[in-house]
Structure 1
Amino acid sequence: MYPLTNYIEFNREKWATLRNKTPLLLSAEELESIKGINEEISLREVEEIYLPLTRLINLKVEASQQLEGVTNSFLDYKAKKIPYIIGIAGSVAVGKSTAARVLQTLLSRWDNHKKVGLVTTDGFLYPNATLESKGLMSRKGFPESYDTQKLIQFMMKVKSGKPKVEAPLYSHLTYDVLNDKVEVIDRPDILIVEGINVLQVSKSHSVFVSDFFDFSIYIDADVRNIKKWYIERFLTLQKTAFQNPMSYFHRYTSLTKEEAVRKATDIWEEINAKNLRENILPTRRRAKVVLKKGQDHLMEKVYLKKF
């Protein structure tokens, strides 16, 4: 679907050379603390894939800052600090959250953009009570399950340089939006916005979330691999987070391994695979960079958009 014909393709070795002596300012312990459940990522992966990517982003941020300065000088105008916004999209279980946290950590160690924020769009899902009233619980994660207008208003405030903008938070334990907690985004140098549908466009909206992005990344992988990772993650969670009585999925802890595999497969096929085919994968061609993973979670290819 949508072959990447307007992209420059890099194999792993060629992409790694673009690091150009960018130092690795990340320890093995830090990497371990920020990687997701069942996510395999090594310092070598950081060096060969993420350091060249952060170097590219640094150059683009620097150019953006210079252009903003030139414009402000021309207008004789002291402008507000405007964050450089990066969107990260991709399927459930493909490793977006780990990628976002790695990028946040690495980018914060460049001198000209030390303050790097991170927001996930999960907090902009409608609360479960609302989804249930709308008959949308079985379509949670689909575009219609998000309060898109609220997300766009958040993006407008951040991009206009407004201080202390509140973003709602989401609990993966209770599988619901938290009513009493928010995250405050206070004029970062860079803001990373991570979510499955952040590159989505819709005829029902004239403004899209991606309109506010300066740069965008899509984490890609073969659907068969993503399905396998999803099931593996489900089995891991069944033995860990699901054991908490507060967990929305606590009901699955008594399943045998075979039953758990069947349940995870059903959820994948009925919800996540359908959402990927219909809504997420078609947005891949809108990303500036596509990172393509192989079956072992290692990046095999990097695609950089020509225009």
Structure 2
Amino acid sequence: MRLISMRFARLFFLTFFLIGGNFLQAQKVTNRPVCTAISAQKVGVNKIKLSWNLPENFNAASIAIFRSTSQIQQKSFISAEKPVAELPAHTTSYTDNLKHFGDYYYALIARDKNGNLFNMLLPTVNATVKAVSLLPPDDYYEIASNEPDEQYVPGFLRELPLPYLDLISDLDIKATPMTSKAKKAGIELAGNYAVKKPRLLNPYVFEEDMVLSPEGDDFFLFESLKNYFIKKDYKGSVKDLRDFLAITREPYVTTRAVFYLAQSQYYCRNYRKALELFLFVEDELPELSKKWIDSTLDFYQIPKEERPVNSSSRG
């Protein structure tokens, strides 16, 4: 009987110790600046909304939001990464705008008035354990066609870069006129050589622009081509592409845009401007540019008012 009583007493004290320890630990966490009840859900094609609760006497200066493509479990991640957003301490929700499809996890970390992070990760409390998946629609990668009423999904947009005006401003500078001697020599060299009537080349579209890109400069170029170039509205294409090129773009996107602008000038019969533009990208697209330069030269003629008077034609 005495042995049973001793065992019961040990079990009672052990249970009391465990319960008391957990209670003290819970009180310790509750009294610290930790956001609770974190929730993340998809609210748009590229948007995820976070919401959370704040404990009483939440004494943080701000809330730092961390994002990852894998579950955030290590404190070292918080120490090494920069937060995607820093919010006032009273905030209880935030909408994250993403630029790429994929799975996303989040963690909320409080920052004190001295700028230090209270680096505590508690799954389901201030860190998500289930990924929020952003997946493209079934027709997202549909190849662009020439139909003007084609439907497509815009997808993600990045912020526009800072403007950089006159990227190809030298193309608007009035060309130095040819001397009468040079014009005369060119005409005499050509003589009465008979040539076949030239034919316009078919519009050329780069393979990269046949598929809708999810973001960035490729997306904006695709948008311009769809609205004007593909519809053969070349005057509108000239204006829109010039506006597009008035802002700093990625080098290869710039090259393709200038080539489309050259084609648009070509179909508008502005052969001199088209020639200048094709020459502008000749180093990047040597074989393709040569074909279009040759065709442009077939159509380009020196205006009659600029031609010198042939001495043999004088009376």
Same fold (TM over 0.5): no
Structure in which a larger fraction of residues adopt strand: 1
TM-score range, shorter chain: under 0.3
State the structure with bigger RCO (CA 8 A, min sep 6), 1 or 2: 1
- TM-score of the pair, normalised by structure 2: 0.19
